[in-house]
Each structure stands twice: as C-alpha cells, then as structure tokens.
Structure 1
Amino acid sequence: MTASDVAAGRGADGEPTLDRSVTLFQITLYGLGSMLGAGIYGLIGQAAGQLGSAVWMAFVVSMIAAMLTGLSYANVVSRHPKAGGAAYVTQRAYGIPLLSYVVGLAVVCSGLTSIATQSNVVAASVQKLLGLTAIPVWILAFGFLLLIAGILLRGIKESMWFNVLCTIIEASGLLLVIAVSVSYWGTNPLIEFPPEASHNGELGTIAILVMQGAVLTFFSFIGFEDMLNVSEECKDASRNVPLAIILAMIGATIIYMAVAISAVSVMHYSELPSELALVEVVKRAAPWFPPIILSVVTIFAVSNTALVNWIMGSRLLYGMSKQGLMPPVLGKVHPTRRTPHVAILTLLVICAVLSLLGDIKALAQATVLLLLTVFTVVNVALIVLKKRPGEKPGRFEVPIIVPYLGAAVCATLIVVRLFQSGGFAAPAIAFGLIAVIAALYFVTGAGKDQERLQRFIAQEEAAEA
C-alpha cells in the first residue's frame, strides 16, 4: 500500500477503507458514554437493596473485576487494532473459523437486542414527554432508528461528535445528582448493611454481600468491547485505544462511586426505590429542579447506547466480512463517507423487525450470557497469543495473570447469571442462539472463501512486518 493510497482512503486492493479520524478524546468519551447508560438511574436502588449504604463498595469491586477483562482487551487492541474485534483475535488465536463466527455474531446479537430495546424506550419516552399519544410507539421507534442510521451513514466523524454530545449530556445528569447532593454527604453512615442480611456485621457475610452487589454492578462497566471494534478508525490506535479503555473505566468508577454516595446520603438506603432512584434523590435534594430535564437526559443516554451498539455491530460485520466469515458485500465501504454502509443498513432492517417484537427482556438477558462467554474466550485467546512463539507484542502489554484472572471472573459470572436469570428462559435462548449461529455458519458456507481469507492474512502479515 502506497502513501498516496492511504491519503486517498484506499486499501492495497484499491477499495475504499474506513476513515481513520477518531481522536483519543473521542474514543475515551465513546467508551465512557457506553458505560454511563440510563440503567444507572435504577441500578443504584437495586444495589442499595442488597448492600445498604455500602453500595459504593460494589462499584469498586466490580470495576476491579471488569478491569481485568478491560486490560485484556487493551492488550489485544494494542497488538491487533482491527474492526473485527473479538472475532479477529479469536481466529488469530485458535484458527477455528466456526468459533470466530459464533463469537462475532454473539457480540452482534448483544448489540441488536440493545438497539431494539433502546428504540422502544426512546419512543415511549418521547411519546410521553411530547404528548404524542396519537402516534403509535412503533412508528416513533422506527423514526428513531432512521435518525441514528442517518448519523452513522453520514460518517464516523459525525457519529463520534454526536456521541460526544450525548455523553456530555448524560454525564451532566449524573454530575447534577452529585452537585445537589454533596451538601448531604456525611448525613447517613456509608457502611450500613440491611439488618436482615448483615448477620451482625460478620466479615464473611459482608464479603458475600459485596460480591453479590459487584455481580449486579459489573455490567455498568461493559463498553470496552465496543471500543475494540472502532480501533481501525482511531488515530494511533495501538496507543490511544488501550489508554482510552483505562481512562473511561476509571472515569466511570469515580462518577458511579460519587453518585452512590450521594444517593444514600440524601435518602436512607431503605427509602431508595428500585426504579428511577436518582430521580427521587434529585426531587428530595433539589425540589426546585424541573424533573423534565432528567427525562431529556435519559433520552440522550438511551440514544447514546443505541448509537454505540450500532457502530460496534456494523464494524464487526465489516471486519468479519474482511476475514471471509461474512458475505463480501458487508465489507463494502462508501467511497465518499468512508462508512460500512451496507452493514449499517443491514442492521437497520434487523433492528426494525426486533423493535416490533415489543418486550425482548429474556433475549437481552440471554445476550448478556453470550457476552460473558465471549469475554472468557477473548481472555483465553490472549493467553494463547502470549504463549505463542513469534507473536509480536503490542505497545501495551499486561502480565499473563491478568487474562487468567479475567477469564476466571467471567466464567464465574456465567455460573452466577445462570442461577440468577429467573428461570431457564435466558440460558435456553442463549444456547438456542449459539445453535442458530452455528447452523448459519454451515448453511451459508461462511469461512469457505479461502482465497479471501488468505488475502486478508497476507495483508495483515505485510502490515505487521
């Protein structure tokens, strides 16, 4: 590939390539926005019900647990900053196309359910906020999907700046909670456990309570997998993406801890509702504040989650196409906008159909199990690559104990989720999705295009030489 090809946005084959324009600032806010979802508004109340006023401890422990896998992803991206993300590193480590295909589509499925769910949440919120009761929710949801698709098709620059706007707004909502509550800090004790669960403060029981809370709050830090898939569009990705992963997780932890302390300071933990707890906190601490603003903040937070997941899913399909695991058309890049437009439009159709299904909570729980499985596979893949002779190290390397511990934590969470998912529906759907994805692999003949795969490998080897 010549310098003129790079400048013109073309690959070695003369085809348009993704636009490598994302800065460290943008990718950091991209990760932070992915983590600071609207779920925190209800999560605080649920976690306080388990841990009492010591809910802030759960965020510390869950951040440490999530950071293990986050550091593994940072290590992976410093070696292989590819749009295929988890599918690419799985193929690189194991050399099993079927496994890479299942891993890639499992992550895509998690994004699809999230986008479909968020579209209905935004539609219902807008309908209530603007009094548009005459317009069906499904029409508003489809309009929302068209809006996000339009932003994504416009370009990665526009998508990232929209993400920056949404992230600043959703972070401002949480910072508002902290600002109006800081004068209450110290009002209530910060280490007080529910009497029915604390058993007179026995250390072992307290440790179990904290771990249970950490399991609940662990998913607040999921977002590093989204960052991996845009690494091919980042400037100096092998340096900036690992740094952004760490900065985003630390930033999220600080905000989460401060919000948790604020919530249990303004209201006794026993008073916090399990839903929209932070809305009640603001009503108590700042009754003068218009509640409609928090509703708007929530809409932006939910919209941001949909945007991030859509970017992730489209880049995964693009990357898998380049590996020969998906049809070549999904690897097409628009010559002017430099976006994987076919992959973006494909997801639009699928998400529109899913949004019509209404409540897909069981499907969403199932894809969480799939994500944890993917995290386990990626952690083990990094171990394989670290032990393989001749593998070129990246600019950010972690000790091999990190992916070992990351895999152990994720495997443990899979077991916990199997027992906490409220029955066998979510596990059954998860296993069913894996079976369907595996069947698609054989039906579509994915991974059989050896010529395309070998060409891709040759390009990668030339780039790493």
Structure 2
Amino acid sequence: MVQMAFYGLGSMLGAGIYGLIGKAAGEMGNAIWLAFLVSMVAAMLTGLSYASIASRYPKAAGAAYVTQRAYRQSMLTYVVGLAVMCSGLTSVATQSRVVAANLQQLTFLDGVPVTLIALGFLLLLAGIVFRGIRECMWLNIVCTTVEAFGLILVIAVGMSYWGSTDLLETPPPTDGGVGGITALLLMQGAVLTFFSFIGFEDTLNVAEEVKNPRKVLPWGIILAMVAATLIYIAVSITAVSVVPWQELSSAAGPLTEVVVRAAPWFPPVAFLAITIFAVTNTALLNYVTASRLAYGMAQQGLLPRFLRKVHSTRRTPHMAVLVLLALITGLALMGDITQLASATVLLLLLVFAIVNSALVILKLRPGEPTGGFEVPVFVPVMGAIVCSVLLVNRFVTGDWQAPLIAAGILGGILGLYALMRPEHVEEDDLAAVQQAEPAE
C-alpha cells in the first residue's frame, strides 16, 4: 500500500507544481490555495471512482477495460485507450527535453545538443521500464522522496513568512469586472490547478503487478491524493508569503525564486537536481502506464497481438516497451511539443468523463461484481459532470489551438481504428486470452 501511495503521489507531484505555481499566481493572486482546494474536490470525485473501479476490476488496461465492460463498443474503448496512451507518450517526450535542458546546464554537458541528451535519457528510461516493475517502483520511491523533499524544503524555509500577507488578495479586475473571489475566478483557477492532480489514474495500469490489488489500489489512490493536496496548499501559501504574487507569476522558476529568497544559503544547483528528479519521475510513471496500457489493450484484441508478449525472464511487456520507445523518440525529435502535450490534457478530461459514466452504468447493471471499495452512485455522476464542465470551460476561453490539436489526435485514432479493424473481445472471453503477469 505504501508503494502504491508513493506511485500515485509521484505521478501527481511530478513536474507540474514546480512550474504551475507561477501561472496559478497570475490567475488567483494570493488565493492560489483556494484554487487547489476546489480542484482537489473535483479531482477527488474522479479519484474515488477510479478507486472503486480498481477494487472491482484490477486489470492492466485500466480505463480501456472499464469502458469496454460498460459500453461494449470496441471503437469507444479504442479511443479511450489510445487517448490515455497519447497523453503519456507526449508527456514523456516533453519531459525528456526538459530533463535534457536542465542537464545541459551542467559543466560537463555544456555544448552537447539537447536532442542528443534527450535520446540518451529515453534509452535509460526504457531500460529501467524493461528491467521490471519492482525497479520502477523503487526508483519512483527515490524520485518521489527527492521531489517531495524539494517541496517540503520550500515549506520549511518559508513557513516563518506565513501570516505576512493577505491570503484572499486576488488580481484586480479587468474590463470593469467584479473583483475579489468569485465563482468564475475559482472555476478558472480550478481548471488550471486541476491538472496538477492528474496522475492518480496511472495506478490502474499496473493492477496486474500488484499483490492484493482490490485492497491496495483504492487506498493507494486516496492516500496519494490527500498527501498531494496538503503539500500543494502548504506550498502555495508559502510561495505567495515569500514572493509577492505579481513577481511569482513572472518568475522563470517560481519555486527556485522562493528558495533563493527564503534560503539564500541553499545551493541553486541542488534545486536544479531536485527538478530533474521530479521530471524524471513523471516521465518514468508515464512510460510504465503507457506500456502496461498497450499490453492490456492487446490482451483485449484492440492492438496488435505481439504487444501482449511478456519477456521470459523479466516478466515485463518488452515488445510494448520497445514500440513505445520508437514513438516517443519520434515525438522528442519534433522539438517543442508543448501545445501537443497541452492538447492531450483535454483528452484526459474526456476520458475521465467517459470512465465516470462507465462506473455509473456498471453500478446500475444487475449481476456486476462489487469491489472492496464501493462509492455511492452520485460520486461518479458528479465526477462526470465536473470533468465535462472543465472540458467545456477550456473551449470557451477562445484559445482554439489546443482543442484543434486534440481533435486531430482523435481523428487520427479513429483513422487507425478503421485501418486496423481490431478484433472485438467479449468480456466473457477475456479470461481465456489473459496471460497473467505475476507480481514481482
């Protein structure tokens, strides 16, 4: 349970909070902590749904498996599975370049092209994922500990500043709008900070490699989300207490700026290392998720069957790991793919809405097995509504670049589905084609 909590926490903490806090300050002023609180409530609804799903159906395909079981439409299952996978792949590609850019600041790598460093990082990451889930878990624990230390350091060195600022101060209204904390402001802030909680869904995709998943997975998700919320709120209060929100919003490295001001004795290179660990952890967990998702979808006949192969000694889906390495490398070579990565977040909100709705269907369907962690039906209903509202809110902002990219990705997935015509596997037949991958 502790390892799964670290896994989920590492997925959520990742690189997001290290850069997100500045953007959130620009939206919310000193009231960032309120945005995190609201987005936590929104994310917890979907998190509880995922916890219930994990206790009912601990399958490697995660969201794709539940979608297939509820709707029994292989095309929808295909879209959901590949949408999640695309999000993971673009994230890993983006993070590889972030790590490379940070490593390039070190003296011995000065002058080495960012792309070359990124490719070396991806090869190392693929080797770890191929090695086994246990190695990934232990590296996740190390990275999560380091990145959590970085956030705790921010809190520790800046806690003495608490109480020195008005935590309800917000940016002045524009165009004669209403000032102060309004429902619209909270919604905008929640949309932004909601993405810092994304990552809890990754736990479903390692379900077949966890001992006693019906008990361990739900509590791992819940503990991770509670811990992340407490850390986010404390960090946000500290950040605006040490650095005025106006300056925080324009800082290149918001948390680095907080540490520089509150603890000038702390070596800047050390915080650089912490940032690298944070980004590496997110990339690692996204890679694990994508490879297990590809394996699980191959088990259901929705991807080529060779992706379901498991290495004879390492007991990992080695073919999925290799194929995804090629795809991630291609994305990394594209250079700046920030917009592509942003667009995949929209796909995740769509997936969350579909998965919440799927749980509603399964809870109301007679004969469906119950799990060790059940939630009232209003939880997935509210989860689906909240995710849909956040998705629509993103569209009405007027910035159509990311939505158009997301639409293009969906079109590509549908085109691939039409080209491959994947085999439809009924739920009763899944057990027959399963090749269990034992926990290490």
TM-score after normalising by structure 2: 0.95
Q: Residue 456 of structure 1 corresponds to which residue in structure 2?
A: 430
Equivalent of 2:50 in 45, 68, 73: 73
Partner of 1:15: none
Return the match for 2:6 from 29, 33, 49: 29
Take 1:194 and 1:276, find their aligned partners in 2: how far apart are those partners? 20
Q: Distance in 2 between matches of 1:458 and 1:67?
A: 35
Q: Which of 206, 213, 227 is equivalent to 2:189?
A: 213
Residue of structure 1 in register with 2:333 after alignment: 356
Indicate how the Cα distance of structure 1 residues 426 and 199 shifts in structure 2: closer, same or farther if over 3 A, else same.
closer
**Structure 1 counterpart of 2:310, from 311, 314, 333:** 333
Partner of 2:211: 235
Match of 1:396 in 2: 373
Deviation of 1:367 (Å): 0.8
- Amino acid across the alignment from 1:31: G
User: What SS does the corresponding residue of 2:150 show, helix, strand or coil?
Assistant: helix
Aligned in 2, Cα 1:219/1:192: closer, same or farther, shift over 3 Å? same
For residues 429 and 370 of structure 2, the distance between their equivalents in structure 1, rounded to whole angstroms, comes to 23
> Displacement of 1:189 after TM fit?
1.9
Residue in structure 1 matched with residue 138 of structure 2 by the alignment? 161
Structure 2 counterpart of 1:378, one-letter code: V
Query: How far apart are 1:90 and its partner, in Å?
Result: 0.4
| Deviation string, structure 1 residues 221-269 (Cα, Å, up to 9, x no partner) | 1112111111111111011111011000000000001101111111222
Contact kept in structure 1, 2:173 and 2:179, CA below 8 Å: no
2:283 matched to which residue of 1? 306
**How far apart are 1:131 and its partner, in Å?**
4.7
Q: Once structures 1 and 2 are overlaid, which stretch shifts more, 218-227 or 267-276?
A: 267-276
1:99 aligns to what? 76
Deviation at 1:37, TM superposition (A): 1.8
Query: Residue by residue, what CA displacement relative to the aligned partner does 1:35-63 show, whole Å, maximum 9, x if unpaired?
Result: 11222122212112222211111111100
SS of corresponding position for 2:104: helix
Q: Return closer, same or farther for 1:54/1:197 CA change in 2, 3 Å cut-off.
A: farther
**1:359-390 residue CA offsets vs partner (Å, 9 max, x unmatched):** 11221122111111100100000000011011
Pick one of 422, 432, 438 that aligns with 2:414.
Answer: 438
Deviates more, 1:44-53 or 1:279-288: 44-53
Q: Gaps spanning 5+ residues in structure 2: where?
A: 435-440
Corresponding residue for 2:20?
A: 43
Q: Choose 337-346 or 38-47, whichever is displaced more.
A: 38-47
- Equivalent-residue separation in structure 2 for 1:131 and 1:414 (angstroms): 44
- RMSD value, Cα: 1.8
| Aligned equivalent of 2:86, options 109, 121, 124 | 109
Match of 1:425 among 401, 408, 425: 401
- What are the equivalent positions in structure 2 for 1:146-225 lying under 5 Å apart? 146-196=123-173, 206-225=182-201
| Partner of residue 259, structure 1 | 235
| AA aligned opposite 1:148 | L
CA contact (8 A) 2:24 2:249 kept: no
Partner of 1:249 in structure 2?
225
Q: Count matched residues.
A: 433
CA–CA separation in structure 2 for the residues paired with 1:417 and 1:182? 34
Letter in 2 for 1:104: G
Q: Which residue of 2 aligns with 1:281?
A: 258
CA distance in 1, matches of 2:140, 2:21: 24
In structure 1, what residue type is equivalent to 2:183? Answer: A
Alpha-carbon distance in 1 for matches of 2:309, 2:137: 21
In 2, Cα distance between the equivalents of 1:121 and 1:195? 33
Q: In structure 2, which of residues 361, 368, 390 is the aligned counterpart of residue 413 of structure 1? A: 390
Pairwise CA distance, 1:134: 3.0
* 1:272 to 2:248 alignment: yes
How many percent identity over aligned positions?
59
Equivalent positions of 1:307-322 (< 5 A) are 307-322=284-299
